[in-house]
Structure 1
Amino acid sequence: MRGRFDNLRRIEALDPVADHLEIHRLTLTEEFPWDMRMAFNLAFNRSFALPRVAKLLCETGTILRAPRKRADDTGIIMYEILLHGPDSARGRLAVQRLNAAHRRFTLDNGDSVYVIAALVVVPMRWLQRYGWRRPHEHEREAAAVFYRRVGQLMGVRDLPAGYSAFANAFDEYERANLHHTPEAARIERTTRDLLRGRIPGPLRGMADALIGTLYDEQLRTAYDLARPPLLARAFVHLSLRIRALLLRFARPRPTPLFANGIVTKTYPNGYELAKVGSAVGS
C-alpha cells in the first residue's frame, strides 16, 4: 500500500528541470487535487482584475454570457497540456487551441507574463498556507519550468526563469498594475458562481463571505469588495487548516485526478479537443 509521503520521496529524487512534467503532474493529480484546482481558480481571478484584461473581457463579452464554458474550456486545455506534456501530439494540439483563442486580440506582453506568473505562484502560496504539507522546492521549480514552457509556446516574451524570479515579477507587477476598475468588478460578480461551486455544500449559504476571505486585500480593492467579517475570515482559515491536518494523516488518493478523463459540466459526455477553446480568449 502506498504511504502518505511516498510521492514526496519520489519528488525529492527527481530533477525539477528534467522531470518537471512528472513532478507537476504528481502535485496536481495525486498530492493536492482539490487545492490545486481551487488555486488555479484564484490565479485566473487575479488576472481578470488587470485593467486591460478586464476591459477586453467585457468588450468581447463571452465571460459574461458563458462563464462556465469559458472556465471549462480553459481548464480542459491547461490540464490536457499538463497531462500529456506541451511537446506531445495532444499537448501541441491543446497549445494550438490556446493560441487560436488568443490570436484575435492584441495582448499586452506584461499582462501575459503576469498571467503565467499567477499560475506558478498562486498555487504554491496556497499550498504553503493550506496544503496538507508544504510544497517541496522541486514542486515550485517544476511549476516554474512547466509554465515558462507553456508561455514560450504562446509567444510570451521576457518570461522569468525559476520560481523566485516568477514570484518577484508577480509581486512587482501587481503593485504597479492591479487596481479597481468597473469592468473588473463586473467580471468578479459574474464569475463568483464558479467559486461558489468549489465551496462544500453545507457552507454554500455563507459562500459570498467565504469567497471574500480567499481574496487578499489587494484583490478585494481591485474588485471593490468589503473586507469580510473577522468571524468569517477566522472560520475559513481554521477550517482549511483543520482540513490540512486531517489530510496529513489520511490515506493517499487511490487514483489520480483525471484518471478516467476530464469531465466538466459543459462536456458531461466528453469533448473533442480540436473543438475546445472558442471561449478561452474572449
Structure 2
Amino acid sequence: MKRFDWYDEIHRLDAEADARRITFILGSHEFPWDMSQALGLALYRTYAVPSIGGLLGDTEEFTDRTQHRYDDTALLLGQMLQHGFEPGRGRDALRRMNQMHRSYDISNDDYLYVLSTFVVMPPRWLNDWGFGWRRLTEHEIRANTNYYRDLGRHMAIKDIPATYEEFCELFDSYEREHFGYSEGGRAVSDSTLELMLDFSPSWQRPVMKKFTMALLDDRLTEAFRYEPASGFWKGAAKFALKARAKVVRFMPPRVEPFTEKDNPNIKSYPEGFDPSRIGTFPQKCPVPHDLRTVEVSGSRDRVPAPGEALPPEQRAGGRQGEQV
C-alpha cells in the first residue's frame, strides 16, 4: 500500500453520502494520533464554558472517576463513527449518549458549541497549526462537517450550521462571549490534565506538563486562571509537533484501522464492553453498568429536543433512543 492510497480512496467517495466513511478513514488510518489529540482538545475546551464546566464539576464524575469518563466518551463516540447510526453497536452508543445528556438541563446553544468543537478543531490542528503530516482538503473538511451535522441531527440539536465556515463563526463567537472561570470547570480541567500526565512515564511528566500547558491558547489559560506557558515552551511544543509531522509523512500508511480497542490509554473495560451499558446513570438507574461483557439489546424511544423534559419512565432510568 502506498502513502497516498487512502487519500485517493477518500477523494473517490462522496463528501455527503460517504461522510462517515471518510471521517473514519481520517481518524483511524490517516491521522489516528492527530485526530485523537484534536478531539481531546475539543472536549477539553468545553470545560471553559461555565454552564458546561460547572455542570460537569457538579456531577463529580469528571473529577472522581476521570479515567472512566475519558474511556466512556472515547468509546461511545468511536462506536458511532465505526458502526454508524443504524441498528447495532453504533445506535446503542448513540442512545446511551442521548440518555446521559437528557438527564441534565443543557441548552441548545451549549450543544451547538460542543458540536462545533468537533468540526473545527481537527482542521485547526492539522491545517492552521501545521501539525498534520499533510493538510486536510476541502473535500475532507466538508465530509467531516457533514458527519458531525448528522450526529447533531440524531441528538435533536436545532439550528445546526450548514457549512464549516459557519461552524467556525459559531465556535469563535461562542468562546468570546461565554468563556469564563467557574470552580467546577477548573476542577474538571485539573483532573483531566492530571489524567493526561498519567499516560506518560513518571520521569517524563514534568516535561509533559509544560508541553501540554504550552498547547493551551490565551482563551483557555485566562478562563481557567492558569499561568500562561512561556514563549520558550510554546515554541518548543510547536517545533516538536511540526517535526513529528515531517517524520510521519515518510512512514508507511496504516493498513489496519486504529480504533479505541487499540488505545492503551483506555483501561476501564479490559474484558470488552456493551455500548448500551457504559457511561453514567445519574437517576439511580436500576440497570447494572459495572459489567465487562453483556449482551446487546434495546428498544427505540424518541429523543426530546434540548431543554425538553424527559418522560417519567426515562427520568427513572429507562433507555432513551435516538431520533431518526
**TM-score normalised to structure 2 length:** 0.81
- 1:60 corresponds in structure 2 to 59
Change beyond 3 A, Cα 1:197–1:253: farther
Residue 252 of structure 1: SS of its match in structure 2? coil
- 2:70 is the counterpart of 1:71: yes
- 1:231 corresponds in structure 2 to 232
For structure 1, the 5+ residue unaligned runs are: none
Percent identity over paired residues: 33
Q: How does 1:137-156 map to 2 (within 5 A)?
A: 137-156=138-157
Q: Is the 8 A contact 2:56 2:185 kept in 1?
A: no
Q: How does 1:60-209 map to 2 (within 5 A)?
A: 60-128=59-127, 129-197=130-198, 203-209=204-210
Partner AA of 1:78 in structure 2: L
Q: Which has the higher helix share?
A: 1
How far does residue 20 in structure 1 lie from its aligned partner after superposition?
0.5
- 1:11 corresponds in structure 2 to 10
Residue 13 of structure 1: SS of its match in structure 2? coil
- 2:279 corresponds in structure 1 to 277
Change beyond 3 A, Cα 1:39–1:89: same
Which segment drifts farther, 51-60 or 253-262? Answer: 253-262
Which segment drifts farther, 197-206 or 133-142? Answer: 197-206
Structure 1: distance between partners of 2:93 and 2:152 = 13
How far does residue 277 in structure 1 lie from its aligned partner after superposition?
1.9
Deviations 1:97-149 (A, max 9, x none): 00111121110111110000001111221111201001111221111111111
Structure 1: distance between partners of 2:260 and 2:253 = 15
Partner AA of 1:122 in structure 2: M
Q: Is the 8 A contact 1:29 1:258 kept in 2?
A: yes
For structure 2, the 5+ residue unaligned runs are: 284-324
Change beyond 3 A, Cα 1:262–1:86: farther
How far does residue 90 in structure 1 lie from its aligned partner after superposition?
2.1
Residue 28 of structure 1: SS of its match in structure 2? helix
- 1:245 corresponds in structure 2 to 246
Aligned residues: 280
Deviations 1:137-186 (A, max 9, x none): 12211111111111111121111112111111111111111122232222
Residue 278 of structure 1: SS of its match in structure 2? coil
Change beyond 3 A, Cα 1:88–1:124: farther
Q: Is the 8 A contact 2:214 2:229 kept in 1?
A: yes
Q: Is the 8 A contact 1:62 1:279 kept in 2?
A: no
Cα RMSD of the aligned pairs, angstroms, is: 2.0
Deviations 1:71-91 (A, max 9, x none): 111111000000001234322
Change beyond 3 A, Cα 1:14–1:95: same
Deviations 1:221-254 (A, max 9, x none): 1111111122211111111011000111111123
Structure number with bigger Rg: 2
Partner AA of 2:212 in structure 1: I
